[in-house]
Amino acid sequence: MEVRSIYKYARISPKKARDVAREIQGLPVSDAIDTLNFTPKKAAFLIGKTLKSAVANAENNHDLAADTLHVKEANVSDGPSFRRFKPRARGSASAIKKRTSHIYIILTDEMEVEEKPKRESKPKKKKGAPKKEEPIAEEEAPAEVEEEVPAAEEAPEAEAEEVTESTEEAPEEESAEEDKH
């Protein structure tokens, strides 16, 4: 059987209270109360009050023993926000939201072990490092070195030809750009 307790309009931000509520989900009531008693946060005090109220509801209204109860859910949702204003520079004002929360706790006496389905992980794709070429045999290495030497000697001549070609092409490109305008 499920027993619930609600604390509405709690004067705490829901974001701050959710951190504490997540800690007690799935715990037996005695462990949850111990955890909340030793947590130094305002949210722990407010959630503790709600949890004790839920235990009292279970014992008095439904004749359940507190030893058998577990926290099935502990949810914190947004309540209405109070809007306040603070004076700022040059006669302006900025809004301040004073947030409230609704704390919901559901206890159950049934031991339900909810196993979360395991995510199937996809095999990670390796960002490919370039494949290494096969090592050059010792016999082939000297032959390639000899071939590279003549190519290096021809390089300065090739560079000189490229320089002359690029200077000749530049005036043609400028005239083509002027025609477009």
Question: Where do the structural domains in the chain lie, given as residue ranges?
Answer: 2-108, 136-181
**What are 78's two structure tokens?**
């947004």
Element containing residue 150 per DSSP (H, E): helix 140-180
Query: Strand, helix or coil at 19?
Result: helix
- Tell whether the torsion through CA atoms of 166, 170, 176 and 180 is positive or negative: positive
> For each of the chain's 181 residues, which pLDDT tens digit applies?
899 999 999 999 999 999 999 999 999 999 999 999 999 999 999 999 999 999 999 999 999 999 999 999 999 999 999 999 999 999 999 999 999 999 999 999 887 555 667 778 777 776 766 666 666 655 555 555 555 555 555 555 555 555 555 555 555 555 555 555 5
- Give the separation between CA 83 and CA 98, rounded to whole angstroms: 6
Residues 2-108, CATH architecture: Alpha-Beta Complex (3.90)
Phi and psi (nearest 5°) for 100? Answer: -125, 165
Tell the residue number behind the tokens 């989900």, with chain if given. Answer: 25
| pTM for the full predicted model | 0.60
d(CA 122, CA 53) in angstroms, rounded, equals 45
3-state secondary structure of 87: strand
User: Any idea of the CA torsion for 81, 86, 88, 92, to the nearest 10 degrees?
Assistant: 70
